[in-house]
Chain A
Amino acid sequence: MKAILRNKWSYLAFGALLILLAIVPFTPRLDDYTMLMTFIAINTMVTVGLCLLMGYTGQVSLGQTAFYGIGAYVSAILSKTYGVNPWLAMLIAAAATGVFAYVIGFPIFRLRGNYLAMATLGLVLVVYVLFRELGEYTGGPDGMAGIPYLSIGGLAFKSRLAKYFLVWFFCLAILLVSQNIIRSRTGRALRAIHGSEPAAESVGIDLSRYKIKIFVLSAVYASIAGSLFVHTLRSVNPQPFGFMASVMIVTMAVVGGLASIWGALFGTAVVRILSNEVLLRFGGLDIIIYGVILMIVMILVPQGLFVGLRDTYERWRLKRTRKGAVT
């Protein structure tokens, strides 16, 4: 446990999250948000990888949704068309996505800055076109429906609640694993890279190896999220995996705060709740308000909401310590 949770704050945050998750589906008014929470979990898995990637390598990747989509479609096709066990399908999808990310990671990370962003953008668009056009396998622009449930033993994850807990289980697992990675040797190497690439190189850290590692990891996370997505909705089509969706993931990551795992969760939750709950009440004005709020958040707290919160807390604590020292 000690290796996993850094300090009492991680414990507290984690505990608070667990309590929240446990309460929501069983409280009369809050249980309406079960489905929303489920989607937040799925999106967080995609965002986490991106937060780590962008936070530690400093590169913008617009390609997360490509991996999200590949995981989704591979799972869908294997489990529906070929009758493969959904769990196995998910595993195969994750493995395939990981390998794919590894292979294209090399040429992509040779590029820098805007070129890299362009390359990842190209990836998303090409993959999107393939999803749309390989109709025999993917069902074309309308996609496929009737994808089977995930199940353990004889019990299928069919009900709203079952899906909720299943998805959050994976999401929490991923968050913990990521937390662990950051505390590990790989994490230290990443932080060194984040601090200064030339310095990191000078102590013998192989930059591209770590960058690709993170890239592959984020791809696998996205793939798992994609698989869970199709088993929850039981349908798939190319739309959630296009360019705009990719931009949304980047937005979620940045709003929450990069290089921060909790930031990923926070950012995803804020953006999702904003676009779904607060704004649905305003009819046609909602995208206007959405745009405004996005701008305001980034202008006031450009390092991301969660990171901003953390920094504010740190400063407050520092002030208190100083005061205490003086008196």
Chain B
Amino acid sequence: MRKWFYVLLAVVILAAAIPLAGVGCAEKESYKVGAIFAETGVNSSLGTPERQTVDMMVKKINDTGGISGHKLEVIAYDTKSDSNECALVTARLIEQDQVLAIIGPSSTGESNFIKQTILDSEIPLISCAAGATIVAAPNKWVFKTPQSDVLAVRELYKYMKGKGFTKIAILTDTGGYGKGGKTFLESEAASFGITIVTAETFDAAGTDMTAQLTNIKNTTAQAFVCWTTSQGAAIVAKNRTDINMTMPLFCSHGVANMTFINNAGSSANGVIFPAGKLLVADQLDDADPQKAVLLKYKTDFEEEYSGKTADTFGGHAYDALNMIVEALKEVGPDKAKIRDYIENEIKEWPGTGGMFNMSPDDHNGLTEGCFIMVEVKNGEWTWLKPS
């Protein structure tokens, strides 16, 4: 036994020495950008496409000469959907890897958690999370590419009002995403003439929401809104048909990926939700300034990862990295200049999430127009064009 112990000790010491050995001095040529995505854990359905997108982009950019001749190096870490881990890898990127800018994290909770560190360290960050609080003042260095949850709520309510719904129920998950959705669903309702009859919640990792749906079924609500990501939403959709519920189901933009349709099966049909234009990229009018970007992203992604479909989450990372790459091209490797560029020069900028207009007051740069309404028909995304 003792012999083994020494072997183990040697291995541990050796393993610890690896980072110290290093790879030699850092290449002064390449531009280093950090990426922190939740590739494992509860948010892995967000982080995985984000990471894949970034990997694909780095390859493409470097194959075509890099950024003004400089190689693009993205140092990516998995936050494991854990805020603590996120803070650690952020510190590592800033102090050890000395990156010029960071993209990610994937969730609002993680983004808010490291916000102060980013502000204190004075490095530009473009988050891929939806919460409006991420870019709320005081904020100099943090930006985000996804459409804010409040915009999605407004777009949804606009549609529901148009269809005559006045009494609804809401079903949200207890995590950050659901909580954020709930806050806005409740605060925006009145201005659209909508009353919320009951508000139910469930664990995002839950596997049976029949009890909550039974509650909702027995109220006077005319429809209900489920605000969660595709995993939970698929179960909600399924449970709804299980108990023969006829109340229309509306969802959030979190269901905009194939996992929802694959797992909900025929129960997904009839579900309506606001989404970014990526889902219906080929149905868009040629004059739409976003069409070109969307199609390029879709084609590049699906070419690189055959068998997978491009989704909005990956799109957020696509937009974020493109913004930084553009800034690097124009102003070079300077954190403050990159920040200034993004804040001031990203105007009428077509991204996968919408047309971006960044400004000192608005570090998201998107308005309601970035959403469209989508219905699932026969297992496919169908654009509900405004009539």
Contacts and interface: CB of A to CB of B under 8 A. Distances in A.
Contact of B18 (A39, A133, A278): A278
A160 interface: yes
A39 B88 contact: yes
A147 B39 CA distance: 28
A300 B174 contact: no
Contact of B114 (A235, A273, A315): A235
A140 interface: yes
B49 interface: no
Contacts of B311: none
Given A32-B95, A233-B87, A308-B5, A273 B112 contact: no
B287 interface: no
A281 B40 CA distance: 15
A240 B19 contact: no
A140 to B, nearest CB: 5
A132 B84 CA distance: 16
A142 B181 CA distance: 12
A89 to B, nearest CB: 17
Interface stretch (B75-83, B191-199, B291-299): B75-83
Interface stretch (B8-16, B61-69, B319-327, B367-375): B8-16
B108 A142 contact: yes
Contact of B78 (A160, A239, A286, A315): A286
B-side interface size class: 35 or more
Contact of B92 (A35, A283, A297): A35
Contacts of B179: 135, 140-142
A206 interface: no
A273 B12 CA distance: 10
A34 B95 contact: yes
A235 B22 contact: no
B109 A35 contact: no
Main secondary structure of the interface of A (DSSP, over half): helix
A143 interface: yes
B215 interface: no
Interface in B46-104: 77-78, 80, 82-84, 87-89, 91-92, 95-96
B39 A239 contact: no
B187 interface: no
Contact of A300 (B8, B80, B92, B133): B8
Contact of B109 (A141, A158, A277): A141
A280 interface: yes
B98 to A, nearest CB: 9
Contacts of A280: 77-78, 89, 92
Nearest to B17: A278
Given A237-B83, A237-B109, A296-B8, A145 B40 contact: no
Contact of A235 (B8, B9, B113, B174): B113
B176 interface: yes
Interface string B284-318: 00000000000000000000000000000000000
A237 B12 contact: no
A287 B40 contact: yes
B117 interface: yes
A297 B109 CA distance: 34
Contact of B115 (A145, A240, A283, A287): A145
Given A135-B179, A278-B18, A300-B1, A142 B95 contact: no
Interface residues of A, number: 48
B354 interface: no
Interface in A265-289: 270, 273-274, 276-278, 280-281, 283-284, 286-287
A184 interface: no
Contacts of A195: none
- Name the residue among A135, A233, A312 with the largest chain B CB count within 10 angstroms: A233
Contacts of B95: 31-32, 34-35, 160
A155 to B, nearest CB: 16
A143 B40 CA distance: 21
B75 to A, nearest CB: 10
B88 A273 contact: no
Contact of A29 (B8, B20, B80): B20
B112 A235 contact: yes
B87 A142 contact: no
Interface string A88-110: 00000000000000000000000
A270 B112 contact: no
B369 to A, nearest CB: 27
B116 A29 contact: no
B378 to A, nearest CB: 35
B174 A141 contact: yes
B350 interface: no
A15 interface: no
A281 to B, nearest CB: 8
Contacts of B84: 239-240, 245
Given A287-B40, A300-B1, A234 B117 contact: yes
A233 B174 CA distance: 24
Given A160-B95, A300-B8, A308-B5, A237 B112 contact: yes
Given A147-B116, A160-B95, 7 more contacts: A132-B174, A142-B131, A146-B116, A233-B117, A245-B84, A278-B18, A301-B5
10 contacts: A39-B88, A141-B175, A142-B108, A145-B116, A235-B116, A237-B113, A240-B83, A284-B39, A284-B40, A287-B80
